Structure 1
Amino acid sequence: MSKTTSDKSVVQLLVQQCIKKGIREVVISPGSRNAPLIIAFNAIENIECFTIVDERSAAFVALGMAQQLRRPVAIICTSGTAALNYAPAIAEAYYQEIPLVVLTADRPKEWVGQADGQTIDQSNIFSNYIKHSIDLPVKIAHDDDAWYANRSISEALNNTMHPVPAPVHINIPLREPLYGRTAAEKRVSRPIEQLIPEQTLSADQIQELATKWNKAESVMIVAGVLAPCEKMSQVLSHLGQLSNTVFLTETTTNQFCDNFITCIDRQIFSIDEDEAALFKPSLLISLGGQIVSKKIKEFLRNNPPKEHWHISQSDKVIDTFQRLSLSVKMDAYEFFSQVASHLKVETGRFKDIWQKRSLKNQALHEQFIEQTKWSDLKALNHIFTHLPEKSQLQLANSTPVRYAQLFQDDIKVHSFANRGTSGIDGSVSTAVGASINSENPTILITGDLSFMYDSNGLWNSYLKKNFKVIVINNGGGGIFRFIPGPSDSPELEQFFEAKHQYKAEHLAYTYGLDYFSASSLEELEDTYNNFVNNNTKASLLEVFTPGDINGKILRNYFKNFSNNR
């Protein structure tokens, strides 16, 4: 260590374990009870410490970092309600399978419930949304205390990545004084490593699965959220050549191939009840995280396959389509790569039927976009078709990620969204975190409510020159003008849509972003290139669209496919 560290021996053990387990980034929110943690982590040269004041934002920033790094990132807060502010990001990380190490400073247990300041019961506080939770001893007074701390910390950190990535919680009760320092380590940590055996299907298992696949008249692979992976793209592209197999993807699937069926909602809206049998699979195979499209879920529930295999290492039984027959507990790439060479389908019409419908709908899509008025749809068409090469796209909930599915054919960059819990609460912060370790431009597309809800995500010193925010400002929650129910409710504007006249301009100036705006297609075309190519500092483009007609235009967009069956 190049600096003096905390004199709390339990903190020293924790920090040493984190280093040996590969923690390299720590997001810290200021406080006093967490002072020993701040002192100890800041003393390590090969750990980078970030300061984010707002704990809710800090946790989402760390989530965005871990999303891109694909390894654990730690977050540190003080005691009391500070920890509760972590909850939204922890829940998102849990359901999105992103590794976070949550370190919460605490009062000693004897002071909980004794009317002491900034003290709440923090033991197992995230119980429903955490993979593993421990409380460390207040001090190491005996060798058994050190043994317990070593073992507990190792177990927690090992659980961040295996069998699936997830957040873990380490609660650290600390007594005053909190600011003591020492130049020497008092104890040496002893991390417990894990040996993870390779996953291999037996010859009999491969033969059985391949035989069913080969004999099936119609096989549909549906993928939700996936991390970018070139080798996964290669094996899935091979499967997409099979005549009895179609592969349906979404923007957040991050897999690209001409054989894949994209823009799922567009295809489903075009399928009449009388022809559903032509498009339904006899064998459904699913993988990845949450699926954005509600229509594909409805279609497969109403037109169930004979068999459904789900590929996941999660210990949960995931039966999204209510027809699960086989849960395969292994890595999806390993599964497909081991089975692929045994698939030999030479005849079949299933892929051809889907591809012909997809081509027809692509033409209808382009025709409708060309003729439509200025709206969310028109503005996003220009944005999605002019994304800079090698940029990464961050999509906020709730309408931006849905609109992106309509332009999937045009989006050729990796796309990410908080679809674990699908909340609007951390979109800006997640995008900031994702941009920190990326040399390529990060472009966040967000609605006005989502942006303003998480505007504290801009309250930090880590906004890079190539970080760009596009705010679609339609004066409220536009999705509620499209969803049946709220759109016809007299409470729409006040309670569902939360209609407003606020602008993002002053927030941009407050946080030091260059500001651009557009209120028409002509203005967007004139402004967009300047915004994208602006490299002086982080920038924000606010696009104003008419909120009262966006819902009607989107409904007409989908009617365009059902009317042209």
Structure 2
Amino acid sequence: MSKNLSDKSIVQVLVQQCVKLGLKEVVVSPGSRNAPLIISFNAVPEIKCYTIVDERSAGFFALGMAQQLKRPVAVLCTSGTAALNYAPAVAEAYYQEVPLMVLTADRPQEWVGQADGQTINQSSAFANYIRMGIDLPVKINHPDDQWYAERSITEAFQKTNYPIAGPVHINIPLREPLYGRTSAMAMQKEPFKQLIPDAVLSENQLTDLAKVWNKSESVMILTGVLSPDAALNKLINQLAENTNTIVLTETTSNLKGERLIDCIDRQVFSINEYETALFKPSLLITFGGQIVSKQIKKVLRDNPPKHHWHISLNDNVIDTFQNLSLSIKMKPLDFMQQMVDKIENKKGRFQEKWKQRCNKNRKAHEAYLEEIKWSDLKALAHIFSHIPNGTDVHLANSTPVRYAQLFQDDIQVNTYANRGTSGIDGSLSTAVGASQTSDNSTLLITGDLSFFYDSNGLWNKYLKPNFKVVVMNNGGGGIFRFIPGPAETPELEEFFEAKHTQSAEHLAKAFGLNYLSCSNVEELASSYQKMMDNNEQPVLLEVFTPGDKNGKILRNYFKNFQSGS
């Protein structure tokens, strides 16, 4: 160790064990009770510390980093409500299956409930949304205390990635004084390792699965949120060569190929009740995270396939379409690698029908975009079709991630979104965190409410020169003018849409971003190009569109496919 660590024995054990386990990044929010941890993590050269004042933003910043790195990233805060501000990011990491270590400094247990400052009951604060939670002892009083601490920290670290990724919580009670330092103490032993055997289907299992697959007249593979994976992408495209098989993907699936069916809602809206049987699979195979499209969920629930297999290591039995016949506890890549050579190239017109409809709808899509006036749909058509290669795109909830599904065939870059819980609360902070791990430009496309809600995501010193934000400002929550229910209520503007007249200009300038704006097609083309050409300073482009017209234009977009089917 190049510097002295905290003189708190439990802190020394935690920090040194984290180093041995391979932790490399800690996102710190300033405080006093966590001072021993700040001092110690900052002292070890193996770990890089980031400073984010707002704990809610810090949690999502760390999530963005871990999302890209595929390894645990830690967040560290002081005691009290600071810890509770991590909750949205912890829940998102849990449902998105992202490895996160939540480290919360605490008062000793005897002071909880005794009207002491900055003291709440932090134990089990995230119980519903973590893979493991532990409370460390206040200090090492006996060799067994150190043995317990080292073992528990190792177990928690391992559980951030196995059997599935997710967050863990380590609560660290500390007594004053807090700022003492001393040399590093000796550790008892090296952390234990985990031997994780390969998941291998037996010959009997392979035979039985292949028999069902090969006997199925029509096979649909439907994918949700996935990280980019070249090996999986290759296998899925190989399976899509079978003419009785279709692969439906979403923008956030990060799967690409000429035979894959994208823009799901565009296709599903064009299928009328008399045609449903022609487009319904006999075998449905699903994997990946949450699926954005509500329409495909409705169609498959109303018209269940004969078989539905879901592939996931998740503890839960996931039955999204209410017709699950087989839950396969494997990684999708492992499953596909073992199955691909067992699948017969069965002839059929299932894929041809879907492809014909897909091509027809593409033409209707282009024709409609030509005729519509300035709106969210018109603006995003330009934005999504002009994303430079080598850009990482982040999509905020609620409308941007949905609009992106309509332009999936134009988006040929890696795409990310917080679809674990689908909240608007951390999209900006997640994108900023993710940008730290990549040399690519990072482009966040966000709505106005999502941007303002998480504007503290810009309150840090880590905005890279190639970080870019598009804010679609339609004066409120545009999704509520489209989804059934709110659009027809008198409370729409005040309580659902949250209508406003705010601009992002002063926030952008306050945080050092170059600010651009536009209010029509010509201004957008010019401003968007300027933003993409500028890699010397982070840029925010605010796109003003008519909130009262966007909902109608989008509804008519889908009616366009229904009438043309």
TM-score (norm: length of structure 1): 0.99
8 Å CA contact 1:9–1:186 kept in 2: the answer is no
State the alpha-carbon separation in 2 of the partners of residues 381 and 187 from structure 1.
58
Tell me how far 1:184 sits from its aligned partner: 3.0
The structural deviation recorded for 1:186 is 4.2
The answer (yes or no) to whether the contact 1:9–1:187 under 8 Å persists in 2 is no
Report the equivalent of 1:288.
Answer: 288
CA drift at 1:546: 0.5
Q: Confirm or deny that 1:69 pairs with 2:69.
A: yes
1:315-350 CA distance string (max 9 Å, x none): 110000000010000110010110000111231111
**Cα deviation digits, residues 222-245 of structure 1 (max 9, x gap):** 000000000000000001111111
What amino acid is aligned across from residue 315 of structure 1 in structure 2? D
- Counterpart residue identity of residue 479, structure 1: I
Q: Distance in 2 between matches of 1:183 and 1:345?
A: 66
- Large movers: runs of 4+ above 2 Å: 183-190
- CA–CA separation in structure 2 for the residues paired with 1:376 and 1:187: 58
Matched, 1:169 2:169: yes
Q: Show the counterpart of 1:343.
A: 343
SS at match of 1:468: strand
Residue deviations 1:500-534, cap 9 Å, x none? 00000000001000001110001011111111111
Partner of residue 480, structure 1: 480
Aligned counterparts, 1:8-407, within 5 A: 8-407=8-407
Deviation per CA, 1:143-200: give whole Å up to 9, x if none. Answer: 1111111111111111000011000000000011111101232434531211100111
**Residues of 1 paired with 2:308 and 2:59: CA distance?**
36
Q: Counterparts of 1:72 and 1:362 in 2: how far apart (Å)?
A: 41
Question: Which residue of the partner structure matches residue 450 of structure 1?
Answer: 450
Q: Could you tell me which runs of 5 or more consecutive residues in structure 2 were left unpaired when the two chains were aligned.
A: none
1: CA distance, partners of 2:17 / 2:259 = 46
Code of the aligned partner of 1:374:
W
AA at the equivalent of 2:364: L
- Matches of 2:71 and 2:202 in 1, distance apart? 30
Residues 187-228 of structure 1 deviation map (CA, whole Å, 9 limit, x = unaligned) = 345312111001110111111111111110011110000000
Q: Whole-Å Cα distance in 1 between the matches of residues 249 and 451 of structure 2? A: 27
Partner in structure 2 of residue 554 of structure 1: 554
Amino acid at match of 1:67: Q
* CA-to-aligned-CA distance 1:278-322 (integer Å, 9 cap, x gap): 011111100000000000000000000011000001111000000
2:12 and 2:184 in contact (8 A); partners too: no
Distance 1:383 1:491 in 2: 32
Q: How far apart in 2 are the matches of 1:17 and 1:322? A: 44
Count of aligned positions? 565
**Contact 1:58-1:75 within 8 A present in 2 as well:** yes
Contact 1:101 1:168 in 2 (8 A): yes
Identity of aligned residues (%): 66
Q: Distance in 2 between matches of 1:478 and 1:136?
A: 46
| TM-score, normalisation: structure 2 | 0.99
Distance 1:249 1:306 in 2: 21
Q: What residue is the counterpart of 2:2 in the other structure?
A: 2
Give the secondary-structure state (helix, strand or coil) at the position aligned to 2:422: coil
Deviations 1:463-485 (A, max 9, x none): 00000000000000000000111
**In the aligned structure 1, how far is the partner of 2:189 from the partner of 2:61?**
29
Q: Which residue of 2 aligns with 1:539?
A: 539
Kindly state the Cα deviation for residue 18 of structure 1 after the two structures are TM-superposed. Answer: 1.1
2:359 & 2:211 partners in 1: Cα distance? 31
| Partners of 2:277 and 2:41 in 1: CA distance | 60
Aligned residue identity for 1:377:
L
- The more displaced of 398-407 and 200-209 is 200-209
Secondary structure, counterpart of 2:247 in structure 1:
strand
SS in 1 for 2:274: helix
